[in-house]
Amino acid sequence: MNYLLIPLSLLVGMIADNLALPLDVAQFRPDFTLLILIYWVLMMPRLAGIGTAWVVGLLQDTLSGGWLGLHAFTKSLLAYFTLRLHLQIQIFPPWQQMAIILFYSYLEHVFVWLVRSAWVPTSLQMSDFIQPLTTALFWPLVFLALSAVKRRAKLD
């Protein structure tokens, strides 16, 4: 059962990201999939890595009806950055980890916006600025929750 913890938690994150919410509330929804993915890549780099991020991104593209491969590429890129720096990020205090999550989330939003606007001219929405902020603010909660689950499952 322990080996299913990472895929199940990522599935829960994707479900949370795709719940139907009113538009006023949806723009504040954090990117739970990104938070959970970064947590597992950070804490269990041998079990979750670039391949996991690519599969999660592909599933996210499929669920959202977006361009196939766009989120797969961005999630893989962010997983690569996290893998390269995971030892440093692990020892950072929570506020510095939140800053890194904020940077990652903005990086993902900007990249997706640049690719989409190359084909179809689009303007940045307010949610492109708000969602990364709420994602970073939710990092300590997700970190603590998944750490408790990992400890309980004895996944080390």
Cβ–Cβ < 8 Å for 139, 39: no
What band does 1 get if pLDDT is binned at 50, 70 and 90? Answer: low
Cβ–Cβ < 8 Å for 153, 2: yes
How many domains is the chain partitioned into structurally?
Answer: 1
How far, in Å, CA of 128 to CA of 124, rounded? 6
Q: Rounded mean pLDDT of 43-65?
A: 91
- For 64-82, the pLDDT digits (tens) are 887 888 899 999 999 999 9
Query: In the prediction, which pLDDT does 39 show?
Result: 96
How far, in Å, CA of 134 to CA of 49, rounded? 24
Q: Which strand (E) or helix (H) includes residue 12?
A: helix 5-17
Tell me the average pLDDT of the chain.
90
Q: Please state the pTM of the whole predicted model.
A: 0.92
Alpha-carbon torsion angle 33, 37, 38, 44, nearest 10 = 160
Query: In the prediction, which pLDDT does 72 show?
Result: 93
Q: What is the CATH number of the domain that holds 83?
A: 1.10.1760
How far, in Å, CA of 104 to CA of 85, rounded? 13
Lowest mean pLDDT among 32-36, 97-101, 116-120: 116-120
Query: In the prediction, which pLDDT does 64 show?
Result: 81
Q: Give me the percent of the chain exceeding a pLDDT of 70.
A: 99
DSSP letter for each residue of 41-93 = HHH-TTTSSHHHHHHHHHHHHHHHT--TTHHHHHHHHHHHHHHHHHHHHHHS-
What range does the domain containing 6 cover?
Answer: 2-152
Query: In the prediction, which pLDDT does 97 show?
Result: 94
Lowest mean pLDDT among 78-87, 97-106, 108-117, 135-144: 108-117
